[in-house]
Structure 1
């Protein structure tokens, strides 16, 4: 089994090291990850500047490459630029902090997995619901357990799972749907040493803990596994909008 590993916290982050070590027990691991922190970059790709690649040693992988781009760049480049051996699976993480509900629209971790699915490969995004400098091994081992089960399933190539591990040891596993997770969006107005104003975005998460959602599961101590896809079509509204008889005047 060949597994491509990436993340959005950077190639030297402890989460990707733990994940690669766990997945190495299943087969060969190739790491292609950002050379620095790239959290909350969503599905951005680099089109107005060059991508540069550096070979990295000392990581638990067959080969490792740092890229000065986004997580989606890393997956694209690995598969269509570096042309590594085609992986059987792409795993992104382990992210520092959860990716729940509407977080998936901002997350570089999840977007890397979505990019793999767009390119026809099964993928897993893995996040730990903890922002402390903490132990990633349990979340990494859980991801490896899912990857091992994957070998024995005939799943569509664009199968995509969003996995979130709770802050403490999981009390069980829930197969969930995406919940609602918003933020206060507090823009703190500050002044730099040259007297120029700037804004710093902060604010706590506001969770809608609908039962059996991913947000609810993690808040209640469960590991959450959410099958997701990249089709944003609102099928419920197609007939309604058709009834508007929109045409060319």
Structure 2
């Protein structure tokens, strides 16, 4: 298990920090290139293992019904014909076995991962897998502005500082940091805010159409309805303030109050 107290710029036993990066948008995604530039501001020991094609909304899925192919495309750069979870698992337990990464960075996702988005996100799933393997992990996502290209410069400017400050704090096991950057220019970011996830009213748009053969189909859209969102949430910080939201995510999904009540009934 990687030393969870390792600081930014330094790995285990004083060696250089080793960073593994992955994503769900695929090896050619501009967000992955931005993430690599973030990582190289922290260390020269950067490894890239990403899906060979887009795996958005793959969640924490693992490929178990067919073999996986890990392909080297450049020095310390690989693709996997599978999910983000597959990528991290193969990187840590196979490719880098014996010198595991100190930190895993996932993203930068082409679009936000706020509130309940984390349950669908392949970006967050890559960080989840690293966390389950005992490695500290960050999931990075960038909110998009309608009709405009993503401003990766915001993530590149602020991302290294988020990692440095995050690694300066000791984390409990089974915790990852979900980080969302706003759709504003780097100089207009309204600070970094540590906040909880919002509970948003689900309002997915469903588009029903006919295919060229006259058969109906339904396409799930990206829009979600917004109810009154409290100020101490990731949605408010990113969408209303234009700040960076940092949310610690705990992988223990047990609801302990209900557990205690059920024990009284079934015990």
Q: Same fold (TM over 0.5)?
A: yes
**CA offsets 1:111-163 (integer angstroms, 9 cap, x no match):** 11011000100000010011643221221332222223355444445441000
Match of 1:142 in 2: 158
Structure 1 residue runs of 5 or longer lacking an equivalent are none
Residue 109 to residue 21, structure 1, CA distance change in 2 (3 Å)? same
Equivalent in 64, 69, 79 of residue 77 of structure 2: 64
Match for residue 237 of structure 2 among 217, 227, 244: 217
Query: Which residue matches 1:108?
Result: 122
- Greater helix content: 2
Give the gaps of 5 or more residues in structure 2. 1-16
1:167 aligns to 2:183 (yes or no): yes
Shift of 1:52: 1.3
- Report what 1:77 is aligned to: 90
Which residue, 217, 225, 228 being the options, matches 1:198? 217
User: Alignment RMSD, CA only?
Assistant: 1.8
The count of corresponding residues between Structure 1 and Structure 2 is 242
**TM-score, length-scaled by structure 2:** 0.84
Are 2:204 and 2:225, in contact at CA under 8 Å, matched by a contact in 1? no
Check the 8 A contact 1:94/1:140 in 2, yes or no: no
Check the 8 A contact 1:34/1:67 in 2, yes or no: yes
SS of the residue corresponding to residue 9 of structure 1 reads coil
Equivalent position of 1:49 in the other structure: 66
After TM superposition, what 4+ stretches of structure 1 lie above 3 angstroms from structure 2? Answer: 149-159
**TM-score normalized by the length of structure 1:** 0.90
Q: What is the match of residue 8 of structure 1?
A: 24
Q: Distance in 2 between matches of 1:212 and 1:192?
A: 44
